[in-house]
Each structure stands twice: as structure tokens, then as C-alpha cells.
A and B are shown apart, each in its own frame.
Chain A
Amino acid sequence: AQSVTQPDIHITVSEGASLELRCNYSYGATPYLFWYVQSPGQGLQLLLKYFSGDTLVQGIKGFEAEFKRSQSSFNLRKPSVHWSDAAEYFCAVGASGGYQKVTFGIGTKLQVIP
């Protein structure tokens, strides 16, 4: 069975500082990996995804993530955080098929302080 662990429930960073959100997954084959962001009162928006090729993937809003098979990790990074990045971030792992069965982590809530 596939699973996702996000070890940090809540993270606080200063505006302009760098950010790294951790994600570890469990999946039997080559995983499809995703990061989503959710602003208060909104649905989830896809930031980026990985399923093959270059292990460093670029997403929207200046985010990137690196797939490390040996560590079963897919950490999300941003070099300089903006106040508007305050939101909840979800890592997810999925399987291919006729439809996409995706398992989400519990989420990491990001607070940005001036």
C-alpha cells in the first residue's frame, strides 16, 4: 500500500528565508509524486509533479522539489519565501491507471513572519 509521511505539522520561517518541506513516501514501484498547496478556505492547487526523468522538478510560484529514490523522499524547496506563501502544503503519492489513485500526507502548515 502507498503512504506519505510529512514529519513537520507546522513550520515558521521569516520572509526572504529559504524553505524546505519534507516528504517521505512508501510505494512498491516507481511513484508518481505531487506537491499541492491549499490556501485558507480554498481547494488544493497542484504545485508540481514528478513521474520520470530529471529528479529535480520545477513548479509554479518558484517552488522546486527533488526526488531521491535512495531516501524515498520528495522534499519541496523555495529559495526565498514571500508572505503570500503562507498556506498548507500537501505531499502526495499516486499510481497510474485508468484513474489516478492518490494518497495524501497530513499536510504542513507554513507560517511566514515579517
Chain B
Amino acid sequence: ETGVTQTPRHLVMGMTNKKSLKCEQHLGHNAMYWYKQSAKKPLELMFVYSLEERVENNSVPSRFSPECPNSSHLFLHLHTLQPEDSALYLCASSSADRYGYTFGSGTRLTVV
């Protein structure tokens, strides 16, 4: 399966900037996820949307703000980030009747 697209692939932002990450899937999946991947740490689940409703928010700082306007699109709005937020941000989607995620290629975020 292909079909989860993340943009941009790379992003460098200053600590006072505001930017957004975009994720798009046209697989007909009903759940979408944001994960953070940092070196030497397990993937950290940030947010989950099921049927466009946020169902999980794992103690993520408020400088990260998700948005799911419809079942195909997921955004992660970023503002006032810290250098420790530099990581690979992965979007994934899943279907209720078929176990396993489909991941996008990720956005490599660098906060300077």
C-alpha cells in the first residue's frame, strides 16, 4: 500500500516561528496518528484521531497543536518550539478492519 503523504520532508525553523506539518491519506482509513521519532528512543505516540475526533493526546506540550479537518487530512501546527523538539515526525493511518499502520515518509524537523 502506498498513499500516506507528508509535507514538507524537511523543515528548519526558529524557536519563534509558526509552521505546520501536513499529512494526507486516500486509503479510506478511519484513524490517523502523529508519532515523534527521536534517536535512541522508541516511537512516541503524540495524537490519535479516530473518525476525525481526537481520541488520544499523550501529554504533549501545547506548542504542538493537531488538527483533523476531514478523514483524509491531518495537520500538526507548531509554534514556539524548543531545540529538543527536533526529530522525525511520522504520520500514520489505519483501518478498523485491517490491522497495521501505513506510515508516511516523515518530516525531519530541526529547531534552531
Which residues of A line the B interface, CB within 8 A?
4, 32, 34, 36, 41-46, 49, 51, 90, 94, 96, 98-107
Q: Once the chains bind, are A43 and B104 in contact (CB under 8 Å)?
A: yes
Q: Once the chains bind, are B94 and A100 in contact (CB under 8 Å)?
A: yes
Q: Once the chains bind, are B101 and A100 in contact (CB under 8 Å)?
A: yes
Contact among B41, B51, B99, B103 with A94 in the assembled complex (CB-CB below 8 Å): B99
Contact among A44, A49, A51 with B103 in the assembled complex (CB-CB below 8 Å): A44
Q: Once the chains bind, are B105 and A41 in contact (CB under 8 Å)?
A: yes
Q: Once the chains bind, are B55 and A44 in contact (CB under 8 Å)?
A: no
A99-B31, A101-B56, A104-B42 are contacts. A44–B90 as well, Cβ < 8 Å?
Answer: yes
Q: Once the chains bind, are B101 and A44 in contact (CB under 8 Å)?
A: yes
Contact among B51, B101, B102 with A102 in the assembled complex (CB-CB below 8 Å): B101
Bound-complex Cα distance A103 to B103 (A): 15
Q: Once the chains bind, are B55 and A43 in contact (CB under 8 Å)?
A: no
Q: Once the chains bind, are A104 and B43 in contact (CB under 8 Å)?
A: yes
Bound-complex Cα distance A90 to B42 (A): 9
Interface string of B4-24 (1 = CB under 8 A from A): 101000000000000000000
Residues 52-107 of B contacting A (Cβ, < 8 Å): 55-56, 90, 92, 94, 96, 99-106
Residues from chain A with a CB closer than 8 A to the CB of B48 are 99, 101
A87 to chain B, nearest CB (A): 14
Bound-complex Cα distance A42 to B6 (A): 11
Tell me whether B110 is interfacial, beta carbon within 8 Å. no
Q: Once the chains bind, are B100 and A99 in contact (CB under 8 Å)?
A: no
Q: List the 7 closest pairs (A to B, CB-CB), nearest first.
A: A43-B103, A99-B31, A99-B50, A104-B43, A46-B100, A44-B103, A43-B105
